Amino acid sequence: MSQSQQSPATATFLGVPELLDMVFAFVSQDTLRKTVILVCRNWFFLNRQRVSRELSWDFKWFADDPAKALKRLPGAGRLVWKCDHYCKDAWPKLIKSLKGVEKRRLHPSPKWKKMWPHGVVQGDDNPIFNQANNLQFRIFSPLRQVELFSDYNLSDESLNLLAFPPTLTTLKIFRYSFSTFDVGRIFAICPYLEVLHAGSRDVLNLQGPWTSQELSTVPETLPLRSLVLDSAKLSQSWLECLVSRTPLLKELKIINLSSPSGSFWDWSSLFHHLRSQPFTLNRFHYSVHGEIPSEDDLDDMLYALCPNGSERTLWSYNLLPGIVRSLTEQPSVLTNLDILRHHLTRCHADGWKEGEHFYSSTPLHRLLCESPSLRHLKSLKVPYLIEHMDIHRRIKTAYESMFPDPDVGREVPTFHPGVWVCRGLQILRIQVHSHGGYDLRGVENRDMLLGFLSRTLFSYISKVTPQLRDLCIEEPYSCSVFPGRFSYRSYLSEHLFGGLPLLSSLQYLERLRVEFEGISCGISQLNWILSAGRSMQDKNNRRAIISKWENQLEREGQMEAIRLQGIHPSPLSGGRLHDVKLLEDLQHTGLLREVKTRIEAIDSDNSQCFSSLLKLSLSRELERSPERSMDSIFPPSPAKKTMWSLFST
Ligand SMILES: *[C@@H]1O[C@H](CO)[C@@H](O)[C@H](O)[C@H]1NC(C)=O
Ligand SMILES: *[C@@H]1O[C@H](CO)[C@@H](O)[C@H](O)[C@H]1NC(C)=O
Ligand SMILES: CC(=O)N[C@H]1CO[C@H](CO)[C@@H](O)[C@@H]1O
């Protein structure tokens, strides 16, 4: 903007750094990073302390060399590192880089002191950072957040020697394997730690009481606000000792606990201990591995410590009638509901099986559709059956047309699909199941049936929860409703007929993650997500694909006729049935026709498609910018497809 174009009012306003500073305080990180700091030198310097850079790396990004990525570690405010298979070489590099950052913090070169006079100095001797003019325009902040996902290849020994800087405020560690974690050391070296989440898919053995460090090196009071331990093995006395040093604690979740041999957990004494502490918890969860508490105890665990809490975490098998009632009747507004589910739970008819204990998915479904207290839900994490979303029973009709004779000896449940009441939902993390099925192995029209499931899900979410900011859809590792048969789950299709384009009407969506099993389609079936993927060539490719749907659309029409002849066996579930507009929107849910219309709209010249999307992941990898995410699925040049691609699919 040139000087002469500015009106006097804006010119003065833009010239007052204090005012600008106040304005920038309300601007989101992303806008600051992507727009504001690029405007001019002044705006850059005004915001340099405010924006923070993130470094993320996933072993699946085989085209991105970890060593090269780590050159950006000095000065990054947040590090997210994910390594499971084939990471033998990546961990040592990270370990070394963290050490390097810490060393430079302690012994900064004079140049760095000049660059970063107030904050914690972090430098790098590598040539990229040595170009002084570059340096000045880099965003540097102390490392405050670290998230690590790891398997065996990070040994316990290395894990417990990682050089975390004292500036750390958030540490999240999730391991896929058995691990022993020295928590006492973390508190000793990171005195500003506010958030600690640690978990394992197996067991996370927390050394206690104060581990390798002397108790005296751990501060008397810790600024910890959030402590989440998942599948940890620890003793009650250790935890009690810890929380008596955390007067600011707001969130305490101890999920699937186990105790070291010779000790056990006792709910009522823990309860009294927590009750006697100065803090008031907003979020609380407590569950012990292998114990199913009585309904009274459960009620206590849910409400006694934070009666007015707006956030609840519980296991899906804990949704007993009394608990469902209490969730419905609780006086406070429920904003976050987190339903936990074991990653290896077995599937059956309309629910799941935990050990010898069967439970149904229906109480949760009814809660979501009928409970007025869930109307204000902002965040929901659930396992859920797509059949509950089949409001026009198109999936059911399709199954029945394909399998006229019911499977002998198999229970086929009756579902009561319905519409959720939580229409203002902003965060949804859903693990989708389909249990109404038949054995689809070798069935000729398998794709057609799976298309119905996939489209029903995407259509339902896009219509029922239009306010979503953050959506993550995952599938269980395995899910078979046939006794004795192991089957990999996969109901979702990334092909156009799977209906992913329906999600593009979510105009506020910033993060999208769909864990497709593998991507086998061509690029034009997915790159409509990016504006660069709407070239003439891509549009033509899509048009060609849609033109082959002719027969299927015709079959669909016939099936609709059959469906409309049938009398609905049971009514829809839910309190949303008076919402005529919504029901109208949902009219074509599951139909290929709806997808066709949507794709045509996306490819028309002035369509809005994912206008707010910042992060994307369509395979099981960390989210990154939509462009880079697409590049990692479809590497731009064939040369980049290395040996790794053989392993990663
Ligand atoms: C919870 O809410 C009820 C009624 O709204 C109120 O009487 C009570 O004091 C609150 N309890 C706490 C711990 O805030
Ligand atoms: C719970 O912890 C046990 C070990 O104590 C572990 O085997 C199991 O996988 C954990 N369950 C979940 C759901 O994480
Ligand atoms: C040290 C260690 O556990 N290395 C493992 C790293 O991961 C590969 C692939 O999964 C294993 O083969 C190694 O044993």
pLDDT digits (tens, 9 = 90+) for 290-321: 888 888 899 999 999 988 889 999 998 898 88
Residue 646 has pLDDT above 50, yes or no: no
Ligand nearest to the CA of 307: 1
Residue 345 has pLDDT above 80, yes or no: no
Identify the weakest region by mean pLDDT among 46-55, 186-195, 391-400, 401-410: 401-410
**Residue 328 is assigned to a structural domain of this protein:** no
**Residue 546 is assigned to a structural domain of this protein:** yes
Mean pLDDT in residue range 493-519: 94
**Residue 368 is assigned to a structural domain of this protein:** yes
Instruction: Quote the percentage of the chain above a pLDDT of 90.
Output: 45
**How many domains are contained in the chain?**
2
Question: How far is the C-alpha of 270 from the C-alpha of 237, rounded, in Å?
Answer: 9
Q: Phi and psi at residue 323, in whole multiples of 5°?
A: -70, -40
- Most confidently modeled range among 344-348, 532-536, 636-640: 532-536
Q: How far does residue 308's CA lie from ligand 1's centre (Å)? A: 6
**Residue 376 is assigned to a structural domain of this protein:** yes
Q: Which of 5, 29, 51 is the last residue of a domain?
A: 51
pLDDT of the residue at 53: 87
Question: How far is the C-alpha of 72 from the C-alpha of 126, rounded, in Å?
Answer: 10
Buried b (16+ CB within 10 A) or exposed e, 341-364: bbeebbbbbbbbebeeeebbbbbb
Closest CA to 63 of 461, 633, 649: 633
Domain that holds residue 46: 14-51
- Most confidently modeled range among 94-108, 121-135, 232-246: 232-246
Q: Phi and psi at residue 317, in whole multiples of 5°?
A: -75, -5
Question: How far is the C-alpha of 366 from the C-alpha of 384, rounded, in Å?
Answer: 12
pLDDT band at 97 (very low <50, low <70, confident <90, very high): very high
pLDDT of the residue at 525: 95
Closest CA to 376 of 317, 334, 412, 337: 334
pLDDT of the residue at 309: 86
Q: How far does residue 196's CA lie from ligand 3's centre (Å)? A: 27
Q: In whole angstroms, how large is the CA radius of gyration of the chain?
A: 27
CA torsion sign for 443, 445, 446, 447 is: positive
Nearest atom of ligand 2 to the alpha carbon of 201: 14
pLDDT band at 18 (very low <50, low <70, confident <90, very high): confident
Q: How far does residue 331's CA lie from ligand 1's centre (Å)? A: 9
Residue 32 has pLDDT above 90, yes or no: no
Residue-wise pLDDT tens digits, 205-230: 987 655 555 556 778 899 999 999 99
Residues with Cβ within 8 Å of 124's Cβ and at least 6 positions away in sequence, in order, are 71, 74, 75, 100, 104
Nearest atom of ligand 3 to the alpha carbon of 85: 10
pLDDT of the residue at 113: 60
**Residue 431 is assigned to a structural domain of this protein:** yes
Residue-wise pLDDT tens digits, 455-488: 999 999 999 999 999 999 998 877 777 666 656 5
CB 186 within 8 A of CB 164: yes
Looking at per-residue pLDDT, the higher value among 567 and 69 belongs to: 69
Mean pLDDT in residue range 526-538: 92
Looking at per-residue pLDDT, the higher value among 254 and 408 belongs to: 254
Q: Counting every residue, how long is the chain?
A: 649
Residue 132 has pLDDT above 70, yes or no: no
Residue 307 Cβ < 6 Å to ligand 1: yes
CB 612 within 8 A of CB 507: yes
**Residue 409 is assigned to a structural domain of this protein:** yes
- Most confidently modeled range among 87-96, 129-138, 538-547, 604-613: 538-547
CATH number at residue 20: 1.20.1280
Residue 338 has pLDDT above 90, yes or no: yes
| Average pLDDT over the chain, rounded to an integer | 84
**Residue 630 is assigned to a structural domain of this protein:** yes
Residue-wise pLDDT tens digits, 40-90: 888 887 887 788 889 999 988 877 888 999 999 988 999 999 987 777 788
Residue 90 neighbours by CB distance under 10 Å: 22
- Residue in 275, 282, 308 to alter for ligand 1 test, most ligand atoms within 8 A of Cβ: 308
Residue 127 has pLDDT above 50, yes or no: no
Which helix (H) or strand (E) segment holds residue 230: the answer is strand 226-233
Residue 529 has pLDDT above 80, yes or no: yes
Check residue 484 and report its DSSP letter: T
**Residue 66 is assigned to a structural domain of this protein:** no
The pair of three-digit structure tokens given for residue 220, joined into one six-digit string: 């008397």
